[in-house]
Amino acid sequence: MSDKIITGRFAPSPSGPLHFGSLQAALASFLEARVRSGHWQVRIEDVDTPRVVVGAADRILRTLEAYGLYWDGCVLYQSQRQDHYQHALAQLRAAGWLYPCTCSRRKLAQHARIGAAGWVYPGWCRTGVCQPECPAALRVRAQPRTIRFTDRLQGEKSQQLEAEVGDFVLQRADGIIAYQLAVVVDDAEQGINQVVRGSDLLDSTPRQIYLQQLLQQPTPEYLHIPVVVDAQGVKLSKQTGALALDDEHPGPALTAALRFLGQQPPAELAHAPAATIIDWAFTHWRSECIPTGLARNAPDER
């Protein structure tokens, strides 16, 4: 990969403002790309329209700027990319990988077992939908083979997709495109060859690699950083009421985020302008210092 230009990305869902947890992913993906003279792109993952909060995308972009995290090129919005997702679905359908499924969550909850990513779908509709009168989701067939990849931080990972996840949904019965498909289509479109994101997406990676293979797209390199959890071990998220980042005073959160990522910014940087902190980070960033593991407690000094 050394002769190739690195292209990383940050792909927030606009369901609320950025918080300390999402800042980790933004900062780590930014620095990993920039210190290797790479590009860094931003994609707004607003494909799940009912979860989109009006104004959140703009606010996220303003926060990134306030934190000195400037991106290259145009921001990609998933809500504007339906044609591309339908094109990918058509490609998979033509190759025989898709089938409609009318099974309800209730039926799954009653009869399916839990795997790496929720209920393992046992393939009831593989040979024809169970309830033709119901709206159908589209599932992709999993295969009985193991997907392997090496995460730069978490090491060797493998998943037996059919046994651990089952055939998974690419388009919901309400027509909404699933994250797994959108992310693969968009990473390919944006030429992303380096994915740095939270470890909560580690279990999604084999599904994404599988789709890349079916769609004949390259597989990026992956680095999953520990997610930030609260004292109860729950991931910080908009849903659990994590505080929005302060756009007026980025220093404290930026330096705390760097420390969380295993870096050692001098204490006095906490009140420096964002650009100064990013400059420091750019010169001192050492990805080998990012702590291993899937989760870490939020620092108190935030």
Contact residues: ligand GLU, CB under 6 A = 11-13, 45, 183, 197, 201
Beta bridge partners of 146: 160
Nearer to ligand GLU (CB atom), residue 47 or residue 214: 47
Strands (DSSP E) contained in the chain are 7-10, 39-44, 76-77, 98-101, 114-115, 118-119, 137-140, 146-151, 155-160, 168-171, 194-198, 221-225, 227-229, 295-297
Nearer to ligand GLU (CB atom), residue 230 or residue 279: 230
Nearer to ligand GLU (CB atom), residue 78 or residue 263: 78
Contacted entry of Zn ion, ligand GLU, none for residue 169, CB cut-off 5 to 8 Å set by kind: none
Contacted entry of Zn ion, ligand GLU, none for residue 197, CB cut-off 5 to 8 Å set by kind: ligand GLU
| Three-class SS state of 46 | coil
Nearer to ligand GLU (CB atom), residue 89 or residue 223: 223
Q: Does 103 bind Zn ion (CB under 5 A)?
A: yes
Contacted entry of ligand GLU, Zn ion, none for residue 261, CB cut-off 5 to 8 Å set by kind: none
How far apart are CB 12 and ligand GLU at their closest, in Å? Answer: 5
Contacted entry of ligand GLU, Zn ion, none for residue 45, CB cut-off 5 to 8 Å set by kind: ligand GLU
DSSP 3: T
DSSP 74: P
Q: Does 124 bind Zn ion (CB under 5 A)?
A: yes
Count CB neighbours of 212 within 10 A: 17
Q: What's the one-letter identity of residue 212?
A: Q
Q: Contact at 8 Å (CB) between 89 and 176?
A: no
Contacted entry of Zn ion, ligand GLU, none for residue 269, CB cut-off 5 to 8 Å set by kind: none
